[in-house]
Structure 1
Amino acid sequence: MGRFFLAEMLWSFGVMIGCSLVLHWCNVLWLNHRKLRRKLSAQGMTGPPPHFFHGNVAEMRSITTRCRPELLPQGQISDDWACSIFPFHHHWAGRYGSLYMYSTRQKLNLYVSRPDLIKFLNLHKPLDLDKPSTIAKTPSPLFGKGILRAAGQNWAFQRKLIAPQFFLDKVKGMMDLMVDSTVAMIEKWESMILQSDGTVADMYITKDLNSLSANVIARACFGSSYSEGKQIFAKLRALQYALAKPDRLFGIHNRGFLPSKANRDLWRIREEVDSLILKMVRARQEENRKALKPEKDLLQMILESVDVDGAMNEKARDSFVVDSCKNIYFAGHETIATTISWSLMLLAVHPEWQDRIRAEILEFYGDRLYHHGSLDFETLRKLKVLTMVIQETLRLYCPGIILVKEATTDIKLGEIVVPKGVILWTSIPALHRDPENWGPDAQEFKPERFKDGVSEACKHPQGYIPFGYGSRLCLGQTFAMLEMKIVLALILSRFSFSLSPEYRHSPVFRMVLMPEHGMRLVVRKI
């Protein structure tokens, strides 16, 4: 009798626990979601009606399937590519405007692509808008807990550590290695042209630009070279391509824990990358033991920071160093290489701007660049036409195409109150091509719009965000702009470019905006 009573009590207790869990998840998945939704609806927000369990995920998949872009004929380009990347945002913006809400399972999202509201996102405290935990899990194999994925105080600590390495005085000291790496690539191109017919060659330049930017970041921050870290960059790119699926980014599925073949491959590549970076770190630590005065590059600063933090055990220290290196390797070379690629593509289509850049180079440098002369920082700053071309490239083909933040407290966007827990999404291509802000020629390549600077280029300058906004503004902005100016100035002083008949224009999202089939250009020696 006693056993029966005990079993009945345990069963009743189990039922109570089960009901409590069901009620809890019902509150999380639906009631809390409806509460947030009502708060936004009361302020005039609309959007696609959500399904009880998956929100708008099914509609997102359906729109993505229907909106696959047509492949353009070889040698042709079109500026109408932005709507093919995350097409559900483009589709809903056409129906609900540039401010609307939608749901991905239990999360409520607010799409914000109104330039007049972006300025308010810049005004909030650093931790009021943070990385969403649901999104941060997705690129974990690539970024670990590094600065590109970190949130809260962890992000603040890493920013304080890394930012000084990209201050202007530090970046100026990197100019020579940027020039040396570019000159090496120029000599390779000259050799390829010589092997062709002596004056011109149809070249696939993507790998060379990737190698160039990888070499610069490796030497500047880690004291190594691209040749030494070639395996690291190759495996990081494999991770990048595997993770750059919209399903993963938008939380449409969350099965990263299952031992599927795709996930097992991800885990294997991540372990290989971590092992290679740790090998490099161990080599540096061994050098430090022998050196009287260790080199003060970024890797050294990271190593010294974990030595000071006695709270970390050895495994945690290794993980922090490896994740920091992966983030810098990725952010410091991928975005720069792709922006240079898009710049050359646009200049190939608009050769008159090549001529204007060369005329400007001749005015300020004479023939020094043609003979691989040194570049000085102050003169480089005077290359206004070159700067305008880079700014316009970043407007039309910004490497980062989506910004995601989660409100960690109630925030205000003008008169709109965004409740805590809402995830804000901003489409950079939508902002950068908004005709109401940029004018009826917003889709066209017109660098002259920047002749008086960003502040005069459009109605709402805060709507130009190639390096992000607010506290998470790209730490390497000065470094990136300087490298792009040096590379473009040197190669445009030696070569002219036109579009290859073999070029296929197909911008795709692979963590950054990339040419799907690479960049093929006809390169002519001047």
Structure 2
Amino acid sequence: MCIGLKVDKKITLEKGAAPHSTSGSNIITEASGLTLLSSSLSHRKMETTATIILILLILVLILAWRVLNWVWLRPKKLERLLREQGLKGNPYKLYVGDLNEILKMRKEAKSKPMSLSDDIVPRVFSYFQNSVNKYGKNSFIWFGPIPRVTLTDPEHIKDVLNKINDFPKPNTNPLVKLLATGLANHEGEKWSKHRRIINPAFNLEKLKIMLPIFFKSCDDLVSKWEGMLSSDGSCEMDVWPFLQNLASDVISRSAFGSSYEEGKRIFQLLQEQGELVMKVFLNVCIPAWRFLPTTTNRRMEEIHRDIKASLKDIINKRERALKAGEATNNDLLDILLESNHKEIQEHEKNKNVGMNLEDVIEECKLFYFAGQEITSVLLVWTMVLLSRYPDWQERAREEVFQVFGNQKPDFDGLSHLKIVTMILYEVLRLYPPVIALTRTVRKDVKLGNITLPAGVQVSLPTVLVHHDCELWGDDAKEFNPERFSEGLLKATNGKVSFFPFGWGPRICIGQNFSLLEAKMALSVILQHFSFELSPAYTHSPTTVVTLKPEHGAHLILHKVNT
């Protein structure tokens, strides 16, 4: 019995142990499940990592392909297409193209003293002239990985400047846009809208109203110069900064109703920005380079913010005055804002109509920059050339006295200054403010017997065309205003061989403003002074956005006895 009981107990104990055994099995099962789950998660993690790596690899390959296409495949394809058209140029060099040679030639040309000559192309446009001499008038150069076809045929130039949709302006380095954008850079509908809104500010009737402003600035300049004369009625000076200040004063008064002194800081900042822009412009644009905190980039952004803040303050004050019904100054800004409000009211339902604050700021920057740059360089080269050709200076002075005597020049009289106009045209021919225009080709386009593929750019070398002996005669590189004695049409034989302000639909909107200001300034100066080159004068035309005298314009002024 005892044995039996023992056995039973054993059996009982074994049966009692069964629950514990089941629990252990569950633990093992759960552990196995966790292991499988962990393995599954690890597998999924590996799959996700592999997917991310694959995506990154694809993105890297796409980026590598795009870079390869940008710096090599596309340029080589364009080069082949251009050569098939009979165009010639240097073989493409990876990424830099001809830029190193362009910069090297520019540096060499500037390092050498220039003779007192109007044949300025070898100094200011050396590489392009060399390319044309080597490969012909319809040749191409490499501006980085982009081929730029040089066009000198007036018919080709006419087509390019007329067909603004086929030949838009190229996308420039974004840092260059910090200088000024506005109407000069817009395309398509935005350009049409801005041109329509701004046009009223530059019609002749408005310019007539601004003539007293022009005279006031010129009279202030004459007073400064008279105060600098010695006892014998003469004075030696660098007239270049004075002419810059004059043009700045005129645009400041006529555009914003303020004097040069009030806008002086803006002009100084714009001048610095222009120098930085040229520094950037002559380098190949590397994507995202503008986001790097380089010294140049930081300074350009700082100037941009500073100018923008100043102009924003001016514009907001005018907007408030306009809404309050206060009397307007009748200057360019007021006319622009009134025209803009009219545009918005006429098309209330269209959200994209009119210009916003940012648009107005950019147009104001363009007023400031173009208004100061173009007229000041026109005036300084006019004074330099009339110093070198005293017979033409005397002819111009005689005409001014014949029309105005000692009186203040008026609009009708300025419109009838034939000799002064001839002189200004000849100065613009020999020393165009902007020495070349660039356009881009976004789709294949036929130009004469040439088919230009999408992706190339075209260069219209203003200074080369203006100095072309085939177009202007054997004396093309000499100062001879007589060629314009019968007007522009006769001088150019109806060809587009003279385009200092551009041509076609996009001709500079401020052309009449600049020429009227130059006529007024030259007339007032001739009424009071004769002038000649100083021994200190160094002939040094150079391009810093516009064509300027690198070492100034040192002249000797003499008081005119009337």
TM-score, length-scaled by structure 2: 0.85
Supply the distance in 1 between the matched residues of 2:352 and 2:299 (Cα, whole angstroms).
Answer: 29
Helix, strand or coil at the partner of 1:461: coil
Q: Deviation at 1:474?
A: 0.6
Q: Deviation at 1:405?
A: 0.9
Helix, strand or coil at the partner of 1:99: coil
Find 2:431's aligned residue among 367, 379, 397: 397
Q: Deviation at 1:522?
A: 0.5
Q: How does 1:180-259 map to 2 (within 5 A)?
A: 180-193=216-229, 196-245=230-279, 248-249=281-282, 251=284, 255-259=289-293
Structure 2 CA distance for partners of 1:25 and 1:61, relative to 1, 3 Å: same
Conserved in 2, the CA contact under 8 Å of 1:115 and 1:460?
no
Q: Which amino acid aligns with 1:128?
A: D
Helix, strand or coil at the partner of 2:385: helix
Supply the distance in 1 between the matched residues of 2:103 and 2:402 (Cα, whole angstroms).
Answer: 53
Q: Deviation at 1:456?
A: 2.2
Supply the distance in 1 between the matched residues of 2:271 and 2:132 (Cα, whole angstroms).
Answer: 32
Q: Which amino acid aligns with 2:240?
A: T
Find 1:513's aligned residue among 505, 528, 547: 547
For residues 185-243 of structure 1, the C-alpha deviation after alignment (integer angstroms, 9 at most, x for no partner) is 112211211xx124111122222222222222222222222122111111111111221
The equivalent residue for 1:34 is: 76
Find 1:472's aligned residue among 498, 506, 526: 506
More helix by share: 2
Q: Deviation at 1:46?
A: 1.0
Q: How does 1:440-479 map to 2 (within 5 A)?
A: 440-458=474-492, 461-479=495-513
Helix, strand or coil at the partner of 2:290: coil
Q: Deviation at 1:249?
A: 4.5
Conserved in 2, the CA contact under 8 Å of 1:138 and 1:249?
no
Q: Which amino acid aligns with 2:113?
A: L
Supply the distance in 2 between the matched residues of 1:421 and 1:53 (Cα, whole angstroms).
Answer: 15
The equivalent residue for 1:154 is: 190
The equivalent residue for 2:61 is: 19
Supply the distance in 2 between the matched residues of 1:219 and 1:312 (Cα, whole angstroms).
Answer: 31
Q: Deviation at 1:6?
A: 4.2
Supply the distance in 2 between the matched residues of 1:43 and 1:92 (Cα, whole angstroms).
Answer: 17
**Whose radius of gyration is greater, 1 or 2?**
2
Conserved in 2, the CA contact under 8 Å of 1:110 and 1:425?
yes
The equivalent residue for 1:132 is: 170
2:98 corresponds to 1:56 = yes
Conserved in 2, the CA contact under 8 Å of 1:36 and 1:422?
yes
2:264 corresponds to 1:264 = no
Q: Deviation at 1:466?
A: 0.7
Structure 2 CA distance for partners of 1:213 and 1:16, relative to 1, 3 Å: closer
Conserved in 1, the CA contact under 8 Å of 2:173 and 2:285?
no
Supply the distance in 2 between the matched residues of 1:52 and 1:235 (Cα, whole angstroms).
Answer: 36
2:112 corresponds to 1:70 = yes
2:334 corresponds to 1:300 = yes
Helix, strand or coil at the partner of 1:498: strand
Supply the distance in 2 between the matched residues of 1:400 and 1:264 (Cα, whole angstroms).
Answer: 27
The equivalent residue for 1:120 is: 159
Supply the distance in 1 between the matched residues of 2:284 and 2:70 (Cα, whole angstroms).
Answer: 16
Supply the distance in 2 between the matched residues of 1:180 and 1:388 (Cα, whole angstroms).
Answer: 25
What 5-or-longer segments of structure 1 have no aligned partner? none
Helix, strand or coil at the partner of 1:98: coil
The equivalent residue for 2:178 is: 141
Find 1:424's aligned residue among 449, 452, 458: 458
2:118 corresponds to 1:79 = yes
> How many residues matched?
510
Identity in percent: 32
Conserved in 1, the CA contact under 8 Å of 2:94 and 2:145?
no
Structure 2 CA distance for partners of 1:492 and 1:65, relative to 1, 3 Å: closer
2:115 corresponds to 1:98 = no
Supply the distance in 2 between the matched residues of 1:159 and 1:479 (Cα, whole angstroms).
Answer: 15
Supply the distance in 2 between the matched residues of 1:301 and 1:78 (Cα, whole angstroms).
Answer: 43
Q: Which amino acid aligns with 1:386?
A: V
Say which is worse superposed, 458-467 or 259-268, in terms of deviation: 458-467
Structure 2 CA distance for partners of 1:387 and 1:397, relative to 1, 3 Å: same
The equivalent residue for 1:489 is: 523
2:423 corresponds to 1:386 = no
Conserved in 1, the CA contact under 8 Å of 2:375 and 2:514?
yes
Find 1:177's aligned residue among 213, 220, 230: 213
TM-score, length-scaled by structure 1: 0.90
Helix, strand or coil at the partner of 2:158: helix
Say which is worse superposed, 113-122 or 470-479, in terms of deviation: 113-122
Helix, strand or coil at the partner of 1:332: helix
The equivalent residue for 2:39 is: none
Supply the distance in 2 between the matched residues of 1:231 and 1:312 (Cα, whole angstroms).
Answer: 33
What is the CA RMSD across the aligned residues, in angstroms?
2.5
Q: Which amino acid aligns with 2:210?
A: M
Q: Deviation at 1:301?
A: 4.3
The equivalent residue for 1:88 is: 127
Q: Deviation at 1:467?
A: 0.7
Helix, strand or coil at the partner of 1:405: strand
Helix, strand or coil at the partner of 1:462: coil
Conserved in 2, the CA contact under 8 Å of 1:108 and 1:422?
yes
Q: How does 1:313-462 map to 2 (within 5 A)?
A: 317-365=356-404, 367=405, 370=406, 373-458=407-492, 461-462=495-496
Supply the distance in 2 between the matched residues of 1:392 and 1:298 (Cα, whole angstroms).
Answer: 29
What 5-or-longer segments of structure 2 have no aligned partner? 1-42
Conserved in 1, the CA contact under 8 Å of 2:311 and 2:364?
yes
Supply the distance in 1 between the matched residues of 2:50 and 2:283 (Cα, whole angstroms).
Answer: 45
